[in-house]
Amino acid sequence: NAGVTQTPKFQVLKTGQSMTLQCAQDMNHNSMYWYRQDPGMGLRLIYYSASEGTTDKGEVPNGYNVSRLNKREFSLRLESAAPSQTSVYFCASRGSGAWLDKNIQYFGAGTRLSVL
């Protein structure tokens, strides 16, 4: 049971380059999330998708775009990477069934991104 799978695990970019972080979940969850984690700060929400075909901005959306390709996949794109986007990125998903399942988020292993 894979859960939430993120690729790549590590990436180094030069300023101005673009890349897409991939995320897929096999738990049939409706909601998916992208967070970034920076030293000394809690995880911050970049974008989320409450269901297939919908996306919404989170706390720190600037410089990012997302695509909810289907129910399983939610990708995060950096069109023109900047050093301020150096961070660890986490994808998560959440179900919408019974109350317990509705509130727990399941996280991927993270992508460590450095922008030089």
Partner 1 sequence: KNEVEQSPQNLTAQEGEFITINCSYSVGISALHWLQQHPGGGIVSLFMLSSGKKKHGRLIATINIQEKHSSLHITASHPRDSAVYICAVTGTASKLTFGTGTRLQVTL
Nearest distance, CB of residue 25 and partner 1, angstroms: 14
Nearest distance, CB of residue 95 and partner 1, angstroms: 11
Torsion of CA 22, 52, 85, 42, to 10 degrees: -110
**Secondary structure, 3-state, 18-74:** CEEEEEEECCCCCEEEEEEECCCCCCEEEEEECCCCCCEECCCCCCEEEEECCCCEE
Nearest distance, CB of residue 75 and partner 1, angstroms: 20
d(CA 30, CA 102): 10
Nearer to partner 1, 44 or 71 (CB): 44
Nearer to partner 1, 17 or 107 (CB): 107
Query: Which spans of this chain sit near partner 1 (rule: CB under 8 A)?
Result: 31, 33, 40-45, 48, 58, 88, 90, 94, 100, 102-110, 112
Q: Take residue 40 and report the two structure tokens written for it.
A: 């000394």
Nearer to partner 1, 26 or 79 (CB): 26
Nearer to partner 1, 41 or 62 (CB): 41
Nearest distance, CB of residue 110 and partner 1, angstroms: 4
Asked if 30 contacts 48 with a C-beta cutoff of 8 angstroms, the reply is: no
